[in-house]
Structure 1
Amino acid sequence: MKEVIETDDAAAAVGAYNQATTNGELVFTAGQIPLTPDGELLADEDVETQTEAALDNLVAVLDEAGAGPEDVLKTTVFMADIDDFDRMNETYASYFDEEPPARSAVEAGALPKDVAVEIEAVATIE
């Protein structure tokens, strides 16, 4: 059975989707962008700041689902410019310092609201 995950501690969904869904064993997050829980878009900030904001949203959604960064099995990082990879990766690594999850990182043609980074995850709920 599918359950919707929703928290005010992360940016609200801005379309026809939920922040995350779970079947009680796995949680699937929507892509998190650098949009604060208060609705402030950080698209003009550097990629490190945008990555931190996206990951803060991701962690808040995971927390609501009963998971944490240590429970993440796989992430996908979408980037507006793959040349920002090293800068994004430095911030990303600080969230997944022990046993990081599998990850794909790809350059996308365009991201929502012209942000530099969007991150989604699949995690296990114990």
Structure 2
Amino acid sequence: MSAEHPYSPAYDDDGVVYVSGALSVDVDGVAVGGRRPALDAAIAKLRSRLATVGLDLPDVVKTTYFVTDVTLRDEANEQYAEIFAEPRPARSFVQVAALPYGATVEIEAVARRR
């Protein structure tokens, strides 16, 4: 945990893992442009955070997407169908006015150890 970000990227509470929001930014903190590339960047960061606690996408049981443009829903649905197997995790999809660093997508998740 750094002074700049005083929170845990992933917190394991006895097998239930809460993953902090993963923004659609590159390694330098620059917002990823394009609709699907932004969604993919957020998922890649989510996977990276899951990996820090030994988990991956199949362990996710719930996600919340925060987007600056609700019309991303169709692309998000396509992405969800591609990356999550049945039964897919529950999901909330929320439009927000803005996200840090000019990102257009942020995804948080809840996962569990199996």
What TM-score results when the alignment is normalised by the length of structure 1?
0.79
Q: Deviations over 1:83-106 (max 9, x none)?
A: 121123222332213321000001
Decide which of 14, 18, 36 is 1:24's aligned counterpart: 14
> Match for 1:111: what amino acid?
L
More strand by share: 2
SS in 2 for 1:88: helix
Unaligned residue ranges in structure 1 (runs of 5+): 1-5, 7-11
Figure out how many residues of one structure are paired with residues of the other and give that number. Answer: 114
> Do the aligned partners of residues 28 and 101 (structure 1) sit closer, same or farther apart at CA in structure 2, a change above 3 Å counting?
same
SS in 2 for 1:21: strand
- Contact persistence 2:31–2:102 (CA under 8 A): no
Unaligned residue ranges in structure 2 (runs of 5+): none
| Aligned 1:1-126 pairs, distance under 5 A | 15-36=5-26, 38-43=27-32, 45-126=33-114
Higher relative contact order (CA 8 A, sep 6+): 2
Q: Percent identity?
A: 34
What TM-score results when the alignment is normalised by the length of structure 2?
0.87
- Contact persistence 2:31–2:101 (CA under 8 A): no
- Contact persistence 1:52–1:92 (CA under 8 A): no
- CA–CA separation in structure 1 for the residues paired with 2:3 and 2:106: 13
Q: What value does the CA root-mean-square deviation take over the aligned residues?
A: 2.1
| Offset of residue 60 of structure 1 | 1.4
> Match for 1:94: what amino acid?
E
